[in-house]
Amino acid sequence: MADKAVVLVSGGLDSTTALAMTRAEGRECFALSFDYGQRHRRELASARRVAAALGAARHLVLRLDLRAIGGSALTDDLPVPKGRSPEAIGHGIPVTYVPARNTVFLSHALAWAEVLEAEAIVIGANVLDSSGYPDCRPEYLEAFERLANLATRAGAEGQRRFRVLAPLIRLTKAEIIRRGTALGVDYGLTWSCYEPDADERGCGLCDSCQLRRKGFAEAGLEDPLPYAR
């Protein structure tokens, strides 16, 4: 029986590549997404397409209400920053940071991993070409792995050790895109834009669009997504 992995899948470029890499290792993948009150809900349609295209054994979309908690431009009616320079992105924590989001996501992934008897929890976090969110750092992910093994029946009884895998953690966006392309990922299925009103085309100017476009340019590959500007 193949090893099982719970893979966080947002519908974006990074988590899609992490899913493709985990599948390529021969693991049975259980894709997990969240309808958490994000204004760019468009990403969930991409998450469904990606999970199906990459052969996830199951795809679970859980509803959460992070909008009731607020504190982010991704859940509140605050403007999403546009046109920040590539140098500014990744310095300081931007208003698109959602308080404790990865802790909320990973805690659900842990619950599902325990029920599925999966060893691995996979997250597409990376630090080089990222928005500078604190809950994407390696020290954070190591702390979560330690917590996971104290939190659970499986960990407490020593039946199994959970591992938190972040296969992209030290890759640049260009390297991520090259890896995924080599694995046959169709990035036309994915969605990166933070802009709530964007639908068929990315806005091209938010941090997420900019990091993505810079990555494709550096990889020397064409981004299949259209942009408004």
Out of 57, 100, 217, 228, point to the residue binding its own copies (CB under 8 A). Answer: 100
Residue 60 sits in the site that holds its own copies (CB under 8 A) = yes
Q: Identify which range of 102-110, 122-130, 171-179, 196-204 contacts its own copies by CB under 8 A.
A: 102-110
Task: Tell the residue number behind the tokens 């679970």, with chain if given.
Answer: 60
Choice between 140 and 194, CB closer to its own copies:
140
Judged by CB under 8 A, the residue of 57, 78, 84, 152 near its own copies is 152
Question: In one letter, which amino acid is 171?
Answer: L
**CB contact at 8 A, 182 and 171:** no
Q: 115: Cβ–Cβ under 8 A, 6 or more apart, which residues?
A: none
Please answer whether residues 222 and 216 qualify as being in contact, where contact means their C-beta atoms are separated by less than 8 angstroms: yes
Q: Which of 116, 163, 110 is nearest to 1 (CA)?
A: 116
* By the rule CB under 8 A, 70 interacts with its own copies: yes
The stretch near its own copies (CB under 8 A) out of 19-27, 58-66, 78-86, 214-222 is: 58-66
- For its own copies, the binding residues in 120-139 under the rule CB under 8 A are 134-135, 137, 139
Select from 18, 97, 126, 169 the one that contacts its own copies (CB under 8 A). 97
Alpha helix ranges (H) inside 64-167: 101-116, 138-151, 153-156
Using CB under 8 A as the binding rule, whether residue 212 contacts its own copies is answered as no
